[in-house]
Structure 1
Amino acid sequence: MDDAQHTASEPQDTPVTRSPQEVADDVVARVLARAGTALHAGGTMHTAYDGDQLELEERTSLRRVAGLGTELEDVTEVEYRQLRLEKVVLIGVWGSGTAQDAEVSLRELAALAETAGSQVLDALLQRRRTPDPGTYLGSGKAAELAGVVAAVGADTVVVDGDLAPSQRRALEDIVRVKVIDRTALILDIFAQHAKSREGKAQVELAQLEYLLPRLRGWGESMSRQAGGQVGGAGAGMGSRGPGETKIELDRRRIRNRMAKLRREIAAMEPARATKRANRRRNAIPSVAIAGYTNAGKSSLLNRLTNAGVLVENALFATLDPTVRRAQTSDGRIYTLADTVGFVRALPHQLVEAFRSTLEEVADADLLLHVVDASHPDPEGQIAAVRHVFADIPGAMDVPEVIVLNKADLATPETIARLRSREVHSIVVSARTGEGVEELLELIADQLPRPGVEVAVVLPYSRGDLVSRVHEHGDIASEEHLEDGTALRARVDAGLAAELVAAAVRSA
């Protein structure tokens, strides 16, 4: 019965009570009506600071396209490097919170699915206190899902939550198509976007950790060794008994591969640690840019440094960290590091696998926490990012500045609300440049300053030391004398020792 029928049969002053399922259906309708959740209608918006974006062209060449079957009579039917577009149905369980919370979560799942290269055809949202332990949705809703899948011609079901292995198997047996959960979807996006050797190894390790408890066996037919007399007289000792099943063999191979990947990642860590040590030894302050996925971190890095890194209006466009050199208005050098974006309930496998990369945040002198101020739930994004920070040793101790990005798209009421809650915040727009100069001034003010005051006369042959003082110190005065350059400055302890030693030797 619709609202018009309600009002026709009830008094005008009687409020219409809507069932939880009607509310859930309205949420689904709004999510599906606003298609293209991962991309705006105009596509990704770039600025002159983003450079040529050659990596974006390479990624676009791998976009999935509609209308391609899995079995083709003529390979010329497929355009080079194009993949079949998966057709998916989304399902979610709304257990607590408001209808808006459920809508934000389901919309984010749709954006994740589209980023992974899928077309969202339909969705189901069920209002229940807790997921069903057997089929996640319950038998009745699972049967309804099977009908929806068959009606729209979907080949994949994506669940807005984490499925136990038994729940996934039970759902697949009912809907007769592939079922994946939110974690598997995020891992798939990471696998598509990882570029560096370390990033690929980290993603593979996370995928194997997720896969290990979800291997599915098929009984005695998978035995790798004959049992009893079946092995024959010549089989000898060790061939009797149930033997090692294929699933056990697969698990052993996965564990061996995981051990190898951990060794490879550990072997790559010293190179990253050496770079960080060099920056610390040279007293180069570091600023880390972190935040929720698609908040505009890479766009902000490009605006601040002309780095030209990939900018795409999609979730998890950046996986491999980018470090760029920058300079304050008074001439001090510092580094800006763009890190992987976070998301609600980020799979713990990814947090563990990317721990070495996330240490860029913990080692920083200043953290720019970028927030999409135009998002329906920016407070939820801030909480999700800080939850991940809590799992990184030392990250919560780094001074944090909330950068409210996309100010050109956000409402003034949202900006005011966020600024009242986050005292240490600044409003910017990486696309228009609004607030960027103020942000640069804030970075210069917040960066640590050298702590040792020196007054030396350096011989003209040590111009390298004078240059380093200009780069990494605060110069109070500089005078060119007959026997050298007289400097009064504040520098770090290591450089101060070198300056004093050079001045002493020249005396």
Structure 2
Amino acid sequence: MGDLNQLEEKRETAVIIGLITDGVTEELTQEYLDELAFLAETSGATTVKRFTQKMPLPNVATFVGKGKLQEIKEFIKEHEIDMAIFDDDLSPTQIRNIERELNVKILDRSNLILDIFASRARTADAKTQVELAQYEYLLPRLTRMWTHLERQKGGIGMRGPGETQIETDRRIIKDKISRLKAKLEKIDKQKKVQRGNRGKLVRVALVGYTNVGKSTLMNRMSKSDVFAENKLFATLDTTVRKVVIKNIPFLLSDTVGFIRKLPHQLVESFKSTLDEVREADLLLHVVDISHSSFEDHFNTVNETIAEIGAADKPTIVVFNKIDAYKASGGFEEGIHSKPSIEDLKKTWMSKLDKKVIFISAYENLNIDEFKKMLYKEVRQIHITRFPYNDFLYQEYE
């Protein structure tokens, strides 16, 4: 019986593969692969080994060179690896060629992220968004693995004269995409009505890279129980809570985390989630200061915010997880490895052209200062909406 349980708990094993191309340093490639390994871990796979190769551009046929592919093949065979995960999107030709050579499951970064989203989707809305993104990703990549699709509709009357299997599958997927888009349009309209029904209350949206502690901060602010764990994309559905600081109520929403190389299909299908950001009065950009690549994550989120047209919104940058932050230079001599909030205020972080605060949501550090800052920002917006209530507003003590 014990052996059976061990068998059921056996995780799939993976090798991960990345390229050091022109304009991408080896250090940056390793950071990408660290994140890819975390993605694999989140999806339930164990990374056994990583492979990198220096090339000006990916090989159009096999992504990596033939020698490197042979090296990967030998390792996979020797260690009985279940899958190979590539850090960049693969073309249909590359997938076909690599699959033929390695004879294991082949995934690329987008495919893996979509898989995680699919496992995390809980509501009908999130499930529809993920399903649409998956089909849009799969459409140009149809291979023999999709020859079963016509059976989902019974196959009768689906195949035209002389129509090949792949054409049938392509048509079925296009039909599914159309139906899912229509369903999402209906959901979007309902969400717009919901957002409209929230009245004139000030709306604050939490944004940030995935796994930076947005849900933990929301729990701290709203005393609600929003799902939070140390995995990527723990939150898919937008959660909205009414929060009151002193005597001012406002709406706080937690949105899906951003990530580098996020599949464009997901950005498109998660439009209603991003509308929460677009329509917010104030953004709380949460940054995990303890992560070695937090500056890169900070820039990625800013780029995504700019892409969706929300760059000019009032923003508070919330540097979170200060309890786990270790200094790595940039401080005055003599500063210990765990800098204080006063130390952090002397860095480039507090010289941004936005309001900045240093906290630990998990350890409840500097939360009162954060609430004070947030109150002032919300109060300012609230007064412009309800000027006749100005005498009611109190300064935050």
* Class of the TM-score when normalised by the shorter of the 2 chains: 0.7 to 0.9
> Is residue 137 from structure 1 mapped to residue 64 from structure 2 by the alignment?
yes
> Is residue 428 from structure 1 mapped to residue 359 from structure 2 by the alignment?
yes
- In structure 2, what residue type is equivalent to 1:443? L
Question: What residue number does 1:339 align with?
Answer: 255
Larger deviation, residues 130-139 vs 186-195: 130-139
Question: What residue number does 2:171 align with?
Answer: 252
- Distance in 1, Cα, partners of 2:387 & 2:216: 38
- Distance in 1, Cα, partners of 2:138 & 2:255: 26
Question: What residue number does 1:44 align with?
Answer: none
> Is residue 205 from structure 1 mapped to residue 132 from structure 2 by the alignment?
yes
- In structure 1, what residue type is equivalent to 2:249? I
Deviation of 1:300 after TM superposition, in Å, equals 0.7
Deviation of 1:297 after TM superposition, in Å, equals 0.6
Question: What residue number does 1:349 align with?
Answer: 265
- Give the paired residue count: 363
Deviation of 1:397 after TM superposition, in Å, equals 2.6
Over residues 385-429 of structure 1, what are the superposed CA-to-partner deviations in whole Å (9 max), with x where a residue is unaligned?
12222332x422321111100011112457424333565211110
1:288 to 178, 191, 205: 205
Question: What residue number does 2:326 align with?
Answer: 411
Query: Measured at CA, do residues 83 and 273 of structure 1 come closer, stay the same or move farther in structure 2, by a change above 3 Å?
Result: farther
Q: Which runs of 5+ in 1 are unaligned?
A: 1-66, 69-76, 225-237, 455-472, 478-488, 490-507
| Contact 1:190–1:319 (Cα < 8 Å) also in 2 | yes
Aligned residue for 1:474, secondary structure, equals helix
- In structure 2, what residue type is equivalent to 1:278? N
- Distance in 1, Cα, partners of 2:352 & 2:126: 35
| Contact 2:315–2:354 (Cα < 8 Å) also in 1 | no
Question: What residue number does 1:449 align with?
Answer: 382
Question: What residue number does 1:304 align with?
Answer: 221
Query: Measured at CA, do residues 269 and 429 of structure 1 come closer, stay the same or move farther in structure 2, by a change above 3 Å?
Result: same
Deviation of 1:85 after TM superposition, in Å, equals 1.8
Question: What residue number does 2:316 align with?
Answer: 401
Over residues 308-337 of structure 1, what are the superposed CA-to-partner deviations in whole Å (9 max), with x where a residue is unaligned?
1111101111101110110122x0100110
- In structure 2, what residue type is equivalent to 1:297? K
Aligned residue for 2:311, secondary structure, equals helix
Aligned residue for 2:382, secondary structure, equals coil
Over residues 419-467 of structure 1, what are the superposed CA-to-partner deviations in whole Å (9 max), with x where a residue is unaligned?
335652111101111121111111111120233544xxxxxxxxxxxxx
Query: Measured at CA, do residues 445 and 154 of structure 1 come closer, stay the same or move farther in structure 2, by a change above 3 Å?
Result: same
Deviation of 1:239 after TM superposition, in Å, equals 7.7
Matched ranges for 1:427-506 at <5 A: 427-447=358-378, 448-451=381-384, 453-454=387-388, 473-476=389-392
Deviation of 1:97 after TM superposition, in Å, equals 3.4
- Distance in 2, Cα, partners of 1:390 & 1:417: 21
Matched ranges for 1:53-452 at <5 A: 77=4, 85-95=11-21, 96-217=23-144, 243-279=162-198, 281=199, 283-329=200-246, 331-392=247-308, 394-412=309-327, 413=329, 415=344, 416-421=347-352, 423-447=354-378, 448-451=381-384
Deviation of 1:211 after TM superposition, in Å, equals 0.3
Deviation of 1:195 after TM superposition, in Å, equals 0.5
Task: Indicate the RMSD between aligned Cα atoms, in angstroms.
Answer: 2.4
- In structure 2, what residue type is equivalent to 1:262? K
| Contact 1:286–1:336 (Cα < 8 Å) also in 2 | yes
- In structure 2, what residue type is equivalent to 1:322? T
- Distance in 2, Cα, partners of 1:389 & 1:167: 32
| Contact 1:217–1:246 (Cα < 8 Å) also in 2 | no
Deviation of 1:132 after TM superposition, in Å, equals 1.1
| Contact 1:296–1:405 (Cα < 8 Å) also in 2 | yes
TM-score of the two chains, using structure 1 as the length reference: 0.68
Aligned residue for 1:425, secondary structure, equals strand
| Contact 1:287–1:368 (Cα < 8 Å) also in 2 | yes
Larger deviation, residues 208-217 vs 184-193: 208-217
- Distance in 1, Cα, partners of 2:183 & 2:120: 20
Over residues 120-145 of structure 1, what are the superposed CA-to-partner deviations in whole Å (9 max), with x where a residue is unaligned?
11111112221111110011110111
Aligned residue for 2:37, secondary structure, equals helix
Query: Measured at CA, do residues 160 and 368 of structure 1 come closer, stay the same or move farther in structure 2, by a change above 3 Å?
Result: same
- Distance in 1, Cα, partners of 2:68 & 2:387: 72
| Contact 2:216–2:361 (Cα < 8 Å) also in 1 | yes
Query: Measured at CA, do residues 420 and 97 of structure 1 come closer, stay the same or move farther in structure 2, by a change above 3 Å?
Result: farther
Percent of aligned pairs with the same amino acid: 39
Q: Which runs of 5+ in 2 are unaligned?
A: 151-158, 331-343
| Contact 1:402–1:422 (Cα < 8 Å) also in 2 | no
- Distance in 2, Cα, partners of 1:347 & 1:304: 31
Query: Measured at CA, do residues 400 and 446 of structure 1 come closer, stay the same or move farther in structure 2, by a change above 3 Å?
Result: same
- Distance in 2, Cα, partners of 1:79 & 1:125: 32
Q: Which has the larger radius of gyration?
A: 1
